[in-house]
């Protein structure tokens, strides 16, 4: 995406002194529910009201949204609250209906982002629109696929683009509904710093009592905004009840968030920061040296296995190493998720080195 600095214009138009906030129910359920929540949010820090009209469900039989009738409720909510309206679209037909009802923001969900054919269909339907279009990360941790969705929309002449980080699916059991994989969003942010980045802590956590923590972490990482599912009676919600908060709780979450400065001119800060970064640089170099040495040992192991006709992959040994590293990492304040991610990468590289020796 060349000239991607054009993409941030829509965020600047809000002229907010705080990160943009998108809030509203996971699903529009009734006209009364949609209007009640909108009225409770209209005098808050919320700028955009979200509500699912069409709900993609993993399995059939669940609540799949009220459909097009909900768009009329959103039109009424917009008129009465003054909030901009946002809905998820998954097909060209959804786009057509949303545009006919003057929806301001359209987002593409994680299950749709993973399908380039579907994204292209939506991009074609949105050709040259001035609406804000947001792309959620795909369900699987694939940065190229995420950026591919954005690029398809950009090539369709859509300039008001942004991305939503809602976490990634995993077979592993963790404390999250969808593991954050912060490094993927950070990589996207570093490549395209002018592309607005919004965090969806509701889908990352799946639990309302963790939303504050993840929202703060996103702001600490310089995210541009938050999308938080908000319902007037969360426990009775027709979808994703456990991850929604009340408007009152949303207000408290937003009040408690700490907005960080990007930098400061204070000499004491910059002196100390430069000193600490120098230490980090030294440690990073040491890490590379240790990893390089480890891979040389792996090659020696590969040669020994080759000489004795032994299989490369030794699952028992690997599981023992992993268990030991998780325990030792915990003692050093490192999370199990981090240890798993790091040592799986090290193990894959080690296996690769051994295979090269054996096949060399």
- The Cα 62–Cα 237 span in angstroms is 13
The pLDDT value given to residue 3: 47
The pLDDT value given to residue 132: 96
The reply to whether 67 falls in a domain is yes
| DSSP 8-state symbol, 222 | T
pLDDT digits (tens, 9 = 90+) for 25-55: 999 999 999 999 999 999 999 999 999 999 7
Q: Which of 236, 171, 178, 230 is nearest to 204 (CA)?
A: 178
The reply to whether 244 falls in a domain is yes
The pLDDT value given to residue 72: 97
Q: Taking the chain (360 residues) in consecutive chunks of 10 residues, what is each chunk's mean pLDDT?
A: 58 88 97 98 96 80 85 97 97 97 97 96 95 96 95 94 94 86 91 93 96 94 95 95 97 92 77 86 91 94 91 89 92 91 92 90
Same domain as 293, residue 194:
no
Residue 243: partners with Cβ closer than 8 Å, 6 or more residues away = 26, 177, 202, 203, 205, 206, 207, 208, 211, 229
The pLDDT value given to residue 260: 77
Residue 100: partners with Cβ closer than 8 Å, 6 or more residues away = 71
Using the structure block, give the residue that is written with the tokens 């590379």.
288
Same domain as 232, residue 302:
no
The pLDDT value given to residue 113: 96
Same domain as 156, residue 249:
yes
Of 256, 288, 319, which residue constitutes the final position of a domain?
A: 256
Same domain as 50, residue 126:
yes
| DSSP 8-state symbol, 135 | E
Same domain as 69, residue 8:
yes
155, containing H or E segment: helix 143-155
Helix axes 116-125, 92-100, angle to 10 degrees: 30
Domain of residue 24, CATH code: 3.20.20.70
The reply to whether 117 falls in a domain is yes
Report the domain count for the chain. 2
Output the CA–CA distances (angstroms, integers) from residue 188 to 146, 164, 326, in the order listed: 9, 11, 29
Same domain as 285, residue 247:
no
Contact 2, 27 (CB under 8 A): no
Same domain as 302, residue 157:
no
Same domain as 58, residue 121:
yes
The pLDDT value given to residue 36: 98
Contact 65, 55 (CB under 8 A): yes
Of 222, 256, 290, which residue constitutes the final position of a domain?
A: 256
Relative to beta strand 197-199, strand 105-108 is: unpaired
Same domain as 94, residue 218:
yes
Same domain as 191, residue 64:
yes
Domain of residue 327, CATH code: 1.20.59.10
Of 227, 256, 285, which residue constitutes the final position of a domain?
A: 256
User: Buried (b) or exposed (e) across 18-28, using 16+ Cβ within 10 A?
Assistant: ebbbbbbbbbb
- The Cα 83–Cα 72 span in angstroms is 15
pLDDT digits (tens, 9 = 90+) for 68-114: 999 999 999 999 999 999 999 999 999 999 999 999 999 999 999 99
Report the 10 Å Cβ neighbour count for 104: 19
DSSP code per residue over 283-317: HHHHHHHHHHHHHHHHHHHHHHHHHTT--S--HHH
Using the structure block, give the residue that is written with the tokens 């069409």.
54
- The Cα 102–Cα 100 span in angstroms is 6
The pLDDT value given to residue 59: 67
Domain range enclosing 35? 4-256
Judging by beta carbons within 10 Å of its beta carbon (0-12, 13-18, 19+), is residue 163 exposed, middle or buried?
A: buried
The reply to whether 136 falls in a domain is yes
Quote the pTM value.
0.80
The beta strand positions in 9-77, using DSSP E, are 20-24, 48-50
């Amino acid at each position: 995406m060349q000239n991607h600095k054009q993409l941030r214009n829509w965020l600047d138009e809000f002229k907010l002194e705080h990160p943009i906030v998108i809030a509203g129910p996971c699903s529009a359920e009734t006209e009364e529910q949609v209007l009640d929540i909108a009225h409770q949010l209209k005098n808050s820090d919320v700028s955009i009201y979200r509500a699912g009209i069409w709900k993609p469900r993993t399995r059939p039989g669940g609540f799949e949204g009220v459909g097009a009738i909900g768009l009329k409720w959103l039109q009424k909510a917009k008129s009465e609250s003054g909030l901009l309206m946002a809905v998820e679209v998954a097909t060209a037909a959804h786009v057509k209906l949303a545009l006919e009802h003057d929806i301001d923001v359209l987002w593409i969900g994680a299950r749709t982002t993973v399908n380039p054919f579907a994204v292209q269909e939506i991009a074609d339907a949105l050709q040259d629109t001035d609406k804000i279009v947001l792309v959620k990360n795909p369900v699987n941790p694939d940065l190229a696929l995420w950026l591919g969705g954005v690029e398809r929309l950009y090539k369709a002449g859509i300039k008001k683009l942004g991305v939503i980080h809602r976490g990634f699916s995993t077979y592993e059991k963790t404390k999250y509904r969808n593991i954050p994989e912060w490094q993927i969003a950070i990589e996207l942010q570093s490549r395209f710093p002018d592309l607005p980045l919004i965090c969806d802590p509701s889908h990352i956590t799946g639990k309302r009592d963790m939303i504050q923590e993840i929202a703060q972490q996103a702001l600490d990482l310089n995210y541009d905004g938050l999308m938080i599912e908000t319902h007037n009676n969360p426990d009775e919600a027709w979808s994703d009840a456990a991850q929604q908060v009340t408007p009152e709780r949303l207000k408290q979450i937003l009040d408690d968030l700490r907005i960080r400065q990007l930098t400061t001119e204070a000499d004491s800060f910059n002196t100390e920061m430069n000193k600490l970064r120098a230490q980090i640089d030294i440690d990073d170099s040491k890490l590379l040296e240790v990893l390089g040495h480890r891979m040389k040992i792996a090659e020696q192991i590969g040669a020994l296995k080759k000489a004795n006709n032994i299989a490369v992959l030794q699952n028992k040994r690997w599981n023992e190493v992993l268990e030991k590293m998780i325990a030792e990492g915990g003692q050093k304040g490192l999370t199990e998720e981090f240890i798993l991610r790091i040592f799986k990468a090290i193990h894959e590289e080690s296996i690769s080195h051994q295979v090269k020796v054996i096949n060399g």
